[in-house]
A and B are shown apart, each in its own frame.
Chain A
Amino acid sequence: MAVDKNMHILVVDDYQTMIRIIRNLLKQLGFNNVDEATDGKAALEKISAKSYGLIISDWNMEPMTGLDLLKSIRGGGSKVPFIMVTAESKTENVLAAREAGVNNYIVKPFNADTLKTKLSSVLGEF
């Protein structure tokens, strides 16, 4: 099934620079409907108001981390694809994210090719 490039994507990061980087890279890949949130709590408010086809989230944010956001989403029964983009690359972090139901994991710093590869693995080839 073809990937719907009109899907709404939510990018969650407390660094505006990173949000802009991901937003611009997504735009280059043809995804233009990108919303943003600066922590897990703000993301949950967005998710409750709109249906998203993908969530791309940082880990370290306050007051709610990306991992807690993921747990909350999965706890609510949602299977929305979730990619963690983080500098937290220790094995225990990856395993905790996996346990919580992450679909893929990108280590910062990353490049456009890595983002495209991970999107393909989660959404399908596009």
Chain B
Amino acid sequence: MAANEKRTKSMRIANMHIPSHGLMLFWSIIALFPFYMLIVNSFKSGLQIYANPFGLPTEWTLANYEYIIEASNFFMYFGNSFLVVSVSLFFILLLGSLAAYALAHWRSTVSTAIYFFFIIGMMLPIKIATIRLMEIIKSLGLMNTLWSLFPIYIAMGLPFAVFILTEFIRGLPIDLYEAAYIDGAKRSKIYYSIVLPLIKPALATVAIYNLVPIWNDLWFPLIFITADNQKTVLLAVTKLQGQYATDWPRVFALLTLSALPVITLYLLFSRNFVAGLTAGAIKG
């Protein structure tokens, strides 16, 4: 009896996870500090950021935000970025998971070759292909439109999606879904009702991994888009960056605003991520 009590007590202490919380709290401070600086400094006027980089603003000003929202068409840029990111991600996940489903099952030299063909896409800097890409985009008549970005971002995201998802699908347990096949379910049905739910965490990983570079990409919008109404948020940031001087408080305001949707999207995906994990109760 006494031994049992002692054990529960030590378990209770173990469940408090003091070293774990210590580690996470420590990292949280490190992780959030620059974020704190980003937000705090976006409420400062030009010079305060230098005079007092760490502290709270001596006088809070909304001028930076007002300028961003009123003078610089933030919501338009924002809408453009949002469209680009969500459409690209949707197709990366859809096409990537379909291809991964096939590559995980179809075992032959051809499939291995296709798999590696996708993988090599992760190994060359895409910038090297800019000239050729411009020609393709131009011949499709997509120059100077947002639409020029979709196919490139989707193609850019596919190697990683195929890599991760193929590995993931191959790692899944076979039993449940074998039954479905014996029951005569079609492949498309198995993909939709069994594979997709099981790989939700992997889909979330792929989405998050691609979300950040697409949202923050500057290069392709810079080259392809000159019309103001087609610009993305990060391209709008560059309007505040001069040859010699950059208006940092305004950049901070703009980027604080533009970080919000990324975090929102992340929370959305990560809930999916967690849900996927709990749903995946059938474990190998």
The answer to whether A and B belong to the same complex is: no
